[in-house]
Amino acid sequence: MPRYTCSLITLLLLGLAGCATVGGRPQSSDDTTEVGTASFYARKFHGRTTASGVRYDPAKMLAAHRTLPFGTRVRVTNLGNHRSVVVTVVDRGPYRRGRVIDLSRGAARELGFVREGLATVRLEVLEP
């Protein structure tokens, strides 16, 4: 293979590796909490495979977060009623602007916002 082609391929691969994200931390002042809007998965996702390979079960305490590593446990507190649950990150999302986490229907029920559909919440990372 010509030297130019090898160099080009190497630069391309390094560039792609630099853009890859495997996980991360929430953005906040102390890096372990985040405040924002939560939503929950629609019924049509029941039984589908999440990004981590776990099958989505609306009764389990599961969540989607854009950057936290899969398996991270997060305490989610509804700031409107101070109820909280602990969920495990198994998926990526939410993809709507302004939302920080998507929860399973069971988690949303425990937090008391199934009827409203959205809630202002605080996330506290329990395990990286």
Domain membership of residue 10 (yes or no) is no
**Average pLDDT of the residues in 87-102:** 94
Domain membership of residue 7 (yes or no) is no
Domain membership of residue 121 (yes or no) is yes
Which residues span the domain enclosing 84?
23-125
pLDDT at 45 (0 to 100): 85
CATH of the domain at 119: 2.40.40.10
Q: What is the dihedral of CA 79, 83, 89, 94, to 10 degrees?
A: -40
Domain membership of residue 9 (yes or no) is no
Task: Mark residue 117 as left, alpha or beta (left: phi above 0; alpha: psi -120 to 50; beta: remaining).
Answer: left
Domain count, the chain: 1
pLDDT at 40 (0 to 100): 93
H/E segment holding residue 39: strand 33-40
At 32-86, the pLDDT tens digits run 899 999 999 888 888 889 999 999 999 999 999 999 999 999 999 999 999 999 9
Q: Radius of gyration over alpha carbons of the chain, in Å?
A: 18
Domain membership of residue 112 (yes or no) is yes
Question: Contact 35/99 with Cβ under 8 angstroms?
Answer: no
Domain membership of residue 88 (yes or no) is yes
Domain membership of residue 1 (yes or no) is no
pLDDT at 114 (0 to 100): 95
Domain membership of residue 16 (yes or no) is no
